[in-house]
Amino acid sequence: MIYALCLAVMVNILSLTAPVFARQPRVRADVKDPGGVDIGSVFFTQTEKGVRLNISLIGMPPGNYAIHIHENGSCIPPDFTSAGAHFNPSGKEHGFMNPEGAHAGDLPNITVDEGGSCTAEFTTHLLTLEKAKNNSLLKEGKTAIVIHKNPDDYVSDPAGSAGDRLACGVIEEENEPGP
């Protein structure tokens, strides 16, 4: 009886966690600082409400930082200018508080705690992982996630007065098949 009950619970959990989108790619960015040191990763998941980002970073100075999706899948240190401008397939201005905004790649600021860690989760309807769409993170040439020295003011065009680029990671599908 106990075995049967466990099995029933397990089947239930499996059905609850079954992916909404079949065969969705496992997509991630490994984030590196200007010295090439790995400071964490961001995972991207397609949901019914858009793309969910699960961010986990370590070894950063405490504070608030801007984080965006940029238009080129290129992170050449130390300045990461190779990532280009904010990902902006719909031709908007920068910022959630800008009446002409926002870029598809705009995201809320992240907070790094006293221990130098940051764990954050956002879901944005402005992005997709579906390759055929023009707001896809997996477009030709890929995209990158960039963390800046300052927080985003959510209004200044074109980049929220976020300052220099502190870290960068190319967003791509994992090579190995998922479990």
Binding site for Cu ion (CB under 5 A): 68, 146
CA distance 18 to 16: 6
- In this complex, which beta carbon is closest to Zn ion, that of residue 25 or of residue 72? 72
In this structure, the number of other CB atoms found within 10 A of the CB of residue 82 comes to 15
Q: Is 148 in the site for Zn ion (CB under 5 A)?
A: no
Binder of residue 146, out of Zn ion, Cu ion, none (CB less than 5 to 8 A by kind): Cu ion
Among Zn ion, Cu ion, none, the one that 28 touches (CB under a kind-dependent 5 to 8 A) is none
The residue (of 25 and 104) whose beta carbon lies closer to Cu ion is 104
Of Zn ion, Cu ion, none, which one does residue 152 interact with (CB within 5 to 8 Å by kind)?
A: none
Q: Find the farthest-apart pair of alpha carbons in the chain and give their distance in angstroms, rounded.
A: 63
In this structure, are residues 85 and 159 in contact, taking their beta carbons and an 8 Å threshold? yes
Q: Cis (ω within 30 of 0) for the bond into 102?
A: yes
Q: Which of Cu ion, Zn ion, none has residue 94 at its interface (CB below 5 to 8 Å by kind)? A: Zn ion
The position carrying tokens 């930082």 is 65
Interacting partner of 69 out of Zn ion, Cu ion, none (Cβ under 5 to 8 A depending on kind): none
Does 70 engage in binding with Zn ion (CB under 5 A)?
Answer: no
Cα–Cα distance for residue pair 50/58, rounded to 1 Å: 26
Please say which residue, 45 or 98, places its beta carbon nearer to Zn ion: 98
DSSP code per residue over 82-142: GG-SB--TT-PBS-TTSTTB--TTB---EEE-TTS-EEEEEEETT-B--TTSTTBTT-TT-
- Cβ proximity to Zn ion, 71 vs 172, nearer residue: 71
Residues 89-108 that bind Zn ion (CB under 5 A): 94, 103, 106
The CB-of-24 to Zn ion minimum distance in angstroms stands at 26
123 CB neighbour count, 10 Å cutoff: 13
Give least dist CB 88 to Zn ion, A: 7
Footprint of Zn ion on this chain (CB under 5 A)? 86, 94, 103, 106
